[in-house]
Structure 1
Amino acid sequence: MSISVHTNDSVETVTITIVGSFDFSLFNEFRDAYSNLGKVYKGYIIDMSMVEYLDSAALGMLLSMRNSIDAESSIELKGANDFIKNILMISRFDKRFDIH
């Protein structure tokens, strides 16, 4: 389980990549990934292509992120497998996030 952050200042985006289980054990690391950047970005991409497991704590962390960053900034949930994408859709996350 790990998180990596890559910023692209030329297009004002941040990519946060999550590897392994996305659960409560990543709470502080995930929050730090978007809140300690020093500036507001236009777009945040959560790369979930290597997420094997997601629990309700992860859903709460995503909602907390949505509430914490600028309302004008977009958040894209990208690369989730079909099982995780189904959880996101059932939870109606498509209303608050761009899911690809």
Structure 2
Amino acid sequence: MSISVTKNESQNMVTITIVGSFDFSLFNDFREAYSEINNYKIYIIDMSMVEYLDSAALGMLLSMRNAINADSNIQLKGANSFIKNILMISRFDKRFEIQ
């Protein structure tokens, strides 16, 4: 379980990569990943290596959406079909771009 942050200043974009289980154990790390960088236009949450997602992770994503600029685009990318289905059932497609 880990989180890494990659900033691309020229494209005004940040990529937050999550590896392993996206659950409550990552609460502080995930919040730290975005809390000090709330002035970018695009935030990509790379979920291609996420094996498990729980309701705490959904709450963390919503907290992120509320914490950063409203005109910023948050893209949830690379989720497997099971996780993508959870996101769609939870209607996250209304607040995030799911790819």
Do they superpose with TM above 0.5? yes
Could you tell me which amino acid in structure 2 is paired with residue 32 of structure 1? E
1:83 aligned partner: 82
1:23 and 2:23 matched: yes
Displacement of 1:45 in angstroms is 0.1
Q: Deviations over 1:36-64 (max 9, x none)?
A: 23x50000000000000000000000000
Length, aligned pairs only: 99
Alpha-carbon separation, structure 2, partners of 1:75 and 1:61: 13
TM-score (norm 2): 0.98
TM-score (norm 1): 0.97
Identity %: 79
What secondary structure sits across from 1:72 in the alignment? coil
List runs of 5+ in structure 1 lacking aligned partners: none
Give the RMSD, CA atoms, in angstroms: 0.7
Q: Deviations over 1:41-89 (max 9, x none)?
A: 0000000000000000000000000000000000000000000000000
1:1-100 equivalence runs, <5 A: 1-37=1-37, 40-100=39-99
